Amino acid sequence: MKKYAGVISVVMTLVMAVLVMLPASASAADYAQTANEAAKRAMEYHKDNLSYLFDEDYDGADAVTADMEHVLAAYAAGVYGTEGYEYLSVQPDLASITEDSYSREYAKGIIISIINGDTDSVEQFADALCLRQDDSGSFKTAGTADIMDDAWALISLQAAKLYGYEAEYDAAAAIDAIIEQKKADGGYNNYGDDGVVDVTATVLMALSFFETDTADAERESCISFIHSKLGSNGLFEYFGADSSCAQAYTIIGLIMAGEDVTSDTWTTEGVNIVDALLTFQDENGGFWSDSASMSGTGWFTAPDDYSTRQCVMALGAVANAEELYAAVSGRTETSEDASQEGESGSSAPSDTESTSQSEDSKAASQTDSSSVVNPSTGQGNELYWVIGIAAVAVVLVAATVIITVINNKKKNK
């Protein structure tokens, strides 16, 4: 307990300060009970209808291996490690990450290890991730910069810091490397020339840990871009349509940046973006991927694994909005600011080596959609629907419950 006394004190101070100065998430907090109940219903649906996909003896094309998002969803709903949900437990393996693996594989290991209470693994994954940062500030995979690797590196390393382990890396350079990848329209994306809300929200999450002129300005730019994509009925435009996953990711990013996601700012036609997210929940508890699927004209025939787990994570953010914002906001000074003030920054070195990493779950089979038959669960072969967001599937929403996890761990130490 003594080891974390200082961190706990700082976090509690931030909570009190934010409650007095910034009622950013006050309205969202009123949704806590609704969000918690919706999350539990969704996870019950997942257990009753989708758990067979995780069975090691199941060899269907739609088989699923539990990963970070499953862990986070289960934790957000309060069922992680409980009876019936053992299929969602994960023990990350550092040795499985190769030099061709995405850098975010290390980040996933950090977050899962925090939830598992495995301090040694948190340190090992964090140190290995830092070795991926090169002189440009980017956490590259096989020599190539990737916006998800860079954003997720910041999120996970700052989470490790809040957990009690401060790895050595150059945060200021990492922020600059992220901004270098910005699209001309003001958003972020791994593909093409145009930004999208969910990837931009991931960058927003990463920047929310820092209070610097650069981070502050880019946060505002991200929020402006996201707001420009807010369409009718509280739904964000996503590749010309809507998406429950994109809606979920964006809500998390906005909450971490201190936005009141239930305010008039984030409301259109009388519907705020949280209520809009809840419209994707089926009466059976699961979440649909999009409006088209809900109406019977889309790809999915039932609420699916991707949508359900990611929406549950967003509900976790809504239920813990004040704590999430208070814990991350302005927590870190970069080395750039420290040099301006003649002080030491909280993040360190610039001399780092490149190492390697593991392949993201986005590398799925390229089966022709015409040959795929959707099972009654709606799981099916999701590649063609997911292709635009596959690169962010494991990163965007994890920060939803990271802070809650950390604070709970500290309370129990």
Query: Does the structure show a pLDDT above 80 at 189?
Result: yes
Task: Output DSSP code: residue 13.
Answer: H
Q: How far is CA 107 from CA 68, 158, 398, in A?
A: 10, 10, 10
Boundaries of every domain in the chain: 23-412
Q: Does domain 23-412 have CATH number 1.50.10.20?
A: yes
DSSP 276-344: HHHTTB-TTS-B-S-HHHHTT-SS-SS--HHHHHHHHHHHHHHHTHHHHHHHHTT-B--HHHHHHHTS-
What is the arithmetic mean of pLDDT over 7-26?
35
pLDDT at position 411 over 70: no
Which positions ≥6 away from 345 have C-beta within 8 Å?
A: 171, 172, 333, 334, 335, 336, 337, 338, 339
- Residue % of the chain over a pLDDT of 90: 68
pLDDT at residue 191 in the model: 86
Measuring CA to CA, which residue among 275, 206, 256, 260 is closest to residue 27? 260
**pLDDT over 80 at 329, yes or no:** no
Note the pTM of the prediction, 2 decimals. Answer: 0.78
